[in-house]
Amino acid sequence: MTSPIPPVPHGTTAAAGIDLAGRTAMVTGAGSGIGRACATALAAAGAHVHVVDVDAAAAGAVAESIGGRAHVVDLAQAAPIRELPAEVDILVNNAGLQYVAPLTEFPPDRFELLQRVMVHAPFLLLRRILPHMYGRGWGRVVNISSVHGLRASAYKAGYVTAKHALEGLSKVTAVEGAPHGVTSNCVNPGYVRTPLVERQIAAQAAAHDIDADRVVTEVMLGRSAVKRLIEPEEVAAAVLWLCGPHTAYITGASIPLDGGWTAA
């Protein structure tokens, strides 16, 4: 059954009432999907945006479209992270990737890669950027976690482990950052309509030995009360709200954008 709740139309933003003029943002994995939507929304609200991605063409295209600056960096490597700008007021830790396999067959190098991109890189970026935020007495850290930062699914050992670790890192950032005007939160989407999910449909079909349509209806939307994927622009709207004037008291929180998945 299709939900009567319409998704936010593609290309719209939720910048109304939020003025980020004079603020500098960094969005990792901003070349695609949720990161691109976040970079677009933050720029529409007036922020200057550093667009960080391993995909040079994608980063360049997004930076050009929003008047931002592209940085081509593989976040699995520590050294280039040290070259990224530290003068950042809003950090969106978004870059991520998925790998689907049973634990007994999960390749150790894939497990490690997921932790490097989704946990170690955010840690290194926080180490680098927090002194600037503390100096200004204001900062916003938004970590794109997942419903898999709150719940487990089979075959996702690397991803579920990384997102749970990101939840912990976010909470420590909130506790340490509070005296300096820095908030840190996670947003926790269910399945978002992005290339990451499109790739996953095929991988899940193979892992569960079912066809692609059944992956969407039974595996992806099976636990969601709202029977549709969430759009990247809807995630970006929540990220923008966390950077606005009404959310200074929200910190150390994890905000489910999961269509009721974790409520059930």
| Residue 94 found at the interface with ligand NAD (CB under 6 A) | yes
* Site track 52-91 with ligand NAD (rule: CB under 6 A), x = hit: -xxx--x--------------xxxx---------------
Distance, in Å, from the CA atom of 134 to the CA atom of 131, rounded to the nearest integer, reads 5
* Site track 191-220 with ligand NAD (rule: CB under 6 A), x = hit: xx-xxxx-----------------------
| Contact call for residues 208 and 225 (beta carbons, < 8 A) | no
| Contact call for residues 61 and 85 (beta carbons, < 8 A) | no
| Contact call for residues 27 and 68 (beta carbons, < 8 A) | no
Closest CA to 157 of 201, 99, 211, 117: 99
Taking CB under 6 A as the criterion, which residues in 106-165 touch ligand NAD?
Answer: 117, 144, 146
Distance, in Å, from the CA atom of 177 to the CA atom of 74, rounded to the nearest integer, reads 27
155 flagged as catalytic: no
Q: What would you measure as the largest C-alpha separation in the chain, in angstroms?
A: 53
Q: How far is the CB of 101 from ligand NAD (least distance, A)?
A: 16
Taking CB under 6 A as the criterion, which residues in 242-261 touch ligand NAD?
Answer: none
Which residue among 99, 155, 159, 191 is the active-site one? 159
The residues of the shown chain that bind ligand NAD, judged by CB under 6 A, are 29, 31-35, 53-55, 58, 73-76, 94-97, 117, 144, 146, 189, 191-192, 194-197
